[in-house]
Amino acid sequence: MKKLMVLAAAALLAVNINTQAAISLPPGPVCFSSGPYPSASFSYLDLTLSGVPAGYSVGNNTYPGWCVEAYNFEFSVGAQYCGAILRLSTDAGLPSHLQSIPWGIVNYILNNKQGTPEDVQNAIWWFTDGWPVTPAENTAAYQSLLAAAASQGSFVPGSGDVVAVVLDLGAVDAPQIMIIEVPVPQEEPGVGTPGYWKNHPGAWPVANIVLGGVSYTKQQAINIMQNPIRNDKTYNLAEQLIAAKLNVAVGNESSCIADTIANADAFLSAFPIGSGVRGSSTAWQTLGEDLLTELTAYNEGLLCAPSRD
């Protein structure tokens, strides 16, 4: 049991570290303003950032926003506030005036919304300030949110979730603690080489694959990778093309390799697998070799997607 608890704690720490690493925030102060109430998105208020330098996970854009303090009525809709420091709610080093807020529960609610934006906002206020709702506001969705979120104090957003980012105006005389939703980037599974894909048929996301306009079953494609014909470069190109297509199909970044994949397909359409293209041929020297080099680099994690290894 102790070992299981240690493993669970380690897993939670890993998720937290991944969230921290995936979200980059500017260190300096920024400005923000709110749109009219109700918001145009599923949120309590739309909050627009300004003065954000380039290169971070947030920009000078509009985000779904929420209020944290139920009993602080100083915030003015439409007003601009400057000097805000953006802080990740999962950061263990938050300033003391933000430490008592149940961020795990808040983040759980943001990722498991029910009912209306008012239901979500009231649920946040209940957990942050014990905010009582009126009989009309005591909806089934609100009660469901309270019941589901009550045990989620350790929740940490992961890949594909949203995380609350605090617009921190300081501990003294702040008009309100506001938060925005920032997406946590999808974690890429990583690319595999032809060797990976032919040895892990269960990991294939497709049952058939098209090469040069011809459809092959999974087993036929594996046979191509396992039994290349010596001195026929179409087999070398095909195995890298198979791996690249599978790497894209499982969700890896493909912007750097999309054109190469299309050109490799065109090459194998003109010179089908098994057509005996030699390394000394003009077709291979002028086009095929470069395609092979680019596909190999992608499949080894040297371009725009990381390696599985």
Provide the residue count of the chain. Answer: 309
In this prediction the pTM is: 0.63
For the stretch 263-300, pLDDT in tens is: 999 999 999 999 999 999 999 999 999 999 999 999 99
Contact predicate 235/228, CB 8 Å: yes
Per the CB < 8 A criterion, the answer to whether 250 and 189 are in contact is: yes
Residue 190's contacts (CB-CB under 8 Å, 6 or more residues apart) are 252, 301, 305, 306, 307, 308, 309
Name the token pair of 254: 């493909």
> Which pLDDT belongs to residue 19?
63
Rounded alpha-carbon distances, angstroms, from residue 177 to 11, 25, 68, 100, 231: 30, 17, 5, 13, 68
Nearest CA to 105 among 83, 130, 86?
A: 130
- pLDDT one-digit tens code per residue, 26-47: 999 999 999 877 777 899 999 9
pLDDT, tens digit only, all 309 positions of the chain: 333 333 334 334 434 445 665 799 999 999 999 987 777 789 999 999 999 999 999 999 999 999 999 988 788 888 899 999 999 999 999 999 999 999 999 999 999 999 999 999 999 999 999 999 999 999 999 999 999 999 999 999 988 899 999 999 998 778 889 999 999 987 788 999 999 999 999 999 999 999 999 999 999 999 999 988 999 999 999 999 999 999 999 999 999 999 999 999 999 999 999 999 999 999 999 999 999 999 999 999 999 999 987
Of 173, 25, 171, 12, give the one whose Cα is nearest residue 89. Answer: 25
**Residues 6+ away with beta carbon under 8 Å from 31:** 49, 50, 51, 80, 81, 82, 83, 84
What amino acid occupies position 85?
Answer: I
Q: Where are the domains of the chain?
A: 22-183, 194-299
> CA torsion angle for 38, 41, 182, 84 (degrees, to 10)?
-30
d(CA 48, CA 30): 11
Residues 186, 160 contacting (CB under 8 angstroms): yes
